[in-house]
Structure 1
Amino acid sequence: MRRYLGPVLFGLIGCAILVALGVWQLQRAEWKAGLLAQIQRGIDAAPGPLPAAVDASMKYRPVTVAGTTTGDELLVLGGTRESGAGYRIVSGFVTDDGRRIMLDRGFVPEDARHAPRPPVSLQVDGNLHWPNEATSATPAPNLSENIWFARDVPGMAAALNTEPVLVVAARVAGDGQGVTPIPVGIEGIPNSHMGYAIQWFGLALVWAGMTGALIWRIRQRRF
C-alpha cells in the first residue's frame, strides 16, 4: 500500500486544486452576470439631463439632449447583421444650451456613406459612453477619407472641436436622415468565466484519469 500513497495523495491534491479553481470561476460567472444585469438596468433607466461636468465614471448613464447637428461628422467603420458593412456616424452636436458635444447617431450602410447630412435639429435619448475599441492592431484614422477604425472619444473630440463627451443615441425625434440608432448594450461585455470553469473541471477529470492510470501501472508491476 505504501507504493500507492504518493500517487494517490498527488492525485487527490491536484484534483482538489483544479476543482476549487472551477468552483471559483463559477462564482465569478455568477458575479459577472449580476454586474451585467446591473449595467443593463442602468442603461434602461429613465434618461435625465446632460450633467454639467461629465467624466468616465458616468459611462452608460442615460441622458436626453436637444440641439442641432453641426454637419461635421466622422465615419467609423463597422457593420450590422442586417445591413452588412457600413459606418457609424459620429456627429458634432450643439445642444440648445450651447454645449458642443459628440452624438453617435447610429449606422448607415456602405452606399449611404456620401449621402448629404446637413445640420438638423434633433431630440435624442441616449447614453453617455466611453468605448474601449482600439487595440495595438487598430489602424490610425484615415483622415483623407474621414474613416475611423474605432471610436476614440478624445481623438474624435479634437477632430470635431467638441467636448470629449459622447452620447450614443437610442431614440431620436426629428429627421434621422437615414441613420439607424444602435443603442448602447451589454452584448460586447464578455462573461467567459463559465468557459474557464468547464476547462478547470475538465483538467480535474484528466488529472484523475492520469492518476488512475499511474496507480494501475504501479499495480501491474507487482505481478
Structure 2
Amino acid sequence: MTKRILLLGLLGLAFLTFVGLGVWQIERLQWKQDLIARVDARIHAAPVAPPETATGDDEYRRIRIAGTYIADADTLTQAVTKLGPGFWVMTPMTSEEGRVILVNRGFIPQDLKDQTAYAAPSGAISVTGLLRLTEPKGGFLRDNDPAAGRWFSRDVVEIARARGLSSVAPFFIDVEAAAKGAANAYPVTGLTVVAFSNHHLQYALTWFAMAALTIVGAIVVTRRGDSDEGSA
C-alpha cells in the first residue's frame, strides 16, 4: 500500500512536470511566431535611415545609406553559403552624415581572395540592405586573428580596430540582392539567411504525450493494487 502511494505520488509529480514543460513550449511557440512575424515585417518594410545604435529589435531592419567606401579597407571574413565556401567582403563606408558604417558587400568564392574582382566602387553610392548585429568572439569554433588577417566572424569592433577606424556604428549592413538583370559580378549580394528554428509545437506535443503516459501508468498501478487487495 505504501509503495503504491509513493509510486502514484511520483507519477503525479511527473505529470505536473510534463504538463508544465508542455505549456512552456506553447508559450515559446507563441513567442517564436511573433518574432518571425516581426522580422518578416522588417524585411519587407520600406528602407529607413540607420539608427544611432542597434538592439535585437533592429536586426534585419531594411536600411538605406549613402556615402563613399573607404578605399583599401576591405576585410574578408569566412563564410559558408549556398554558393559554397568563401568570404564576406566587409568594407567601411563613410556616410553623408560623416558616420562610418561597416557594409557587407557580398560573397566571393575562395579562389577570388587574392584578386581585385571585388574592389569597392569609388565615388558616391547608395546601398540598401539589412541591419545585422555584430558577431564578437569569432566563429566556426575559431577566434578571429586580426594580426594574421584571419577572420571567422563579422566582429565590428575588432575589424574597426584592425583598420584604424573610429566612431564606427555598432552594427553592419548586409547589402540586399541586386535588381534582376544586373551583371552577375562579385561580390554576390542578397545571400542573407533569415531563418528561425521552430520546433516548439513538436516539443509541446511530446511533453503532453509524456504526461498522458503518466496517467496510463497511474491507472495501471491503481488497478494492480486493487487486484492485489482483492486476492488477499
Q: TM-score, normalised by structure 1?
A: 0.78
Q: Kindly tell me: are residues 132 and 118 of structure 1, through their superposed partners in 2, closer, same or farther at Cα, counting changes over 3 Å?
A: closer
Whether 1:211 and 2:218 are equivalent positions in the alignment is yes
Give the aligned partner of residue 126 of structure 2.
123
Distance, in Å, in 2 between the alignment partners of 1:5 and 1:148 is: 61
The 5-angstrom pairing of residues 134-153 of structure 1 reads 134=137, 138-143=141-146, 145-153=148-156
Distance, in Å, in 1 between the alignment partners of 2:20 and 2:92 is: 52
Please tell me whether the aligned partners of residues 48 and 64 of structure 2 are also in contact (alpha carbons under 8 angstroms): yes
**Cα shift readout 1:77-134 (whole Å, capped 9, x = no counterpart):** 12112x2111111112223444322101121112222221334144211122214474
Distance, in Å, in 2 between the alignment partners of 1:3 and 1:26 is: 35
The amino acid of 2:79's aligned partner reads G
Whether 1:19 and 2:19 are equivalent positions in the alignment is yes
Whether 1:158 and 2:175 are equivalent positions in the alignment is no
The 5-angstrom pairing of residues 97-136 of structure 1 reads 97-116=97-116, 117-121=118-122, 122-132=125-135, 134=137
Q: Runs of 4 or more off by more than 6 Å in structure 1?
A: 1-6, 173-176
For structure 1, list consecutive stretches of 5 or more residues without a partner in the other structure: none
Give the aligned partner of residue 199 of structure 1.
206
Give the aligned partner of residue 182 of structure 1.
190
Please tell me whether the aligned partners of residues 74 and 147 of structure 1 are also in contact (alpha carbons under 8 angstroms): no
Cα offset, 1:60, TM superposition? 3.0
Mean Cα deviation higher: 119-128 or 191-200:
191-200
Whether 1:49 and 2:46 are equivalent positions in the alignment is no
The amino acid of 1:74's aligned partner reads T
Please tell me whether the aligned partners of residues 128 and 168 of structure 1 are also in contact (alpha carbons under 8 angstroms): yes
- 3-state DSSP class of the match of 2:187? coil
**Cα shift readout 1:161-194 (whole Å, capped 9, x = no counterpart):** 150341111145898851112355531x443432
For structure 2, list consecutive stretches of 5 or more residues without a partner in the other structure: none
Please tell me whether the aligned partners of residues 88 and 104 of structure 2 are also in contact (alpha carbons under 8 angstroms): yes
Task: Considering fraction of residues, name the structure with more strand.
Answer: 1
- 3-state DSSP class of the match of 1:148? coil
Aligned residue pairs: how many? Answer: 220
- Aligned-pair identity in percent equals 25
The amino acid of 2:221's aligned partner reads L
Give the aligned partner of residue 59 of structure 2.
59
Distance, in Å, in 1 between the alignment partners of 2:135 and 2:197 is: 13
Q: Kindly tell me: are residues 59 and 136 of structure 1, through their superposed partners in 2, closer, same or farther at Cα, counting changes over 3 Å?
A: closer
Please tell me whether the aligned partners of residues 46 and 62 of structure 1 are also in contact (alpha carbons under 8 angstroms): yes
Cα offset, 1:47, TM superposition? 0.6
Distance, in Å, in 1 between the alignment partners of 2:139 and 2:111 is: 29
The amino acid of 1:75's aligned partner reads L
Q: TM-score, normalised by structure 2?
A: 0.76
The amino acid of 1:127's aligned partner reads L
Give the aligned partner of residue 72 of structure 1.
73
Distance, in Å, in 2 between the alignment partners of 1:196 and 1:49 is: 40
- 3-state DSSP class of the match of 1:103? strand
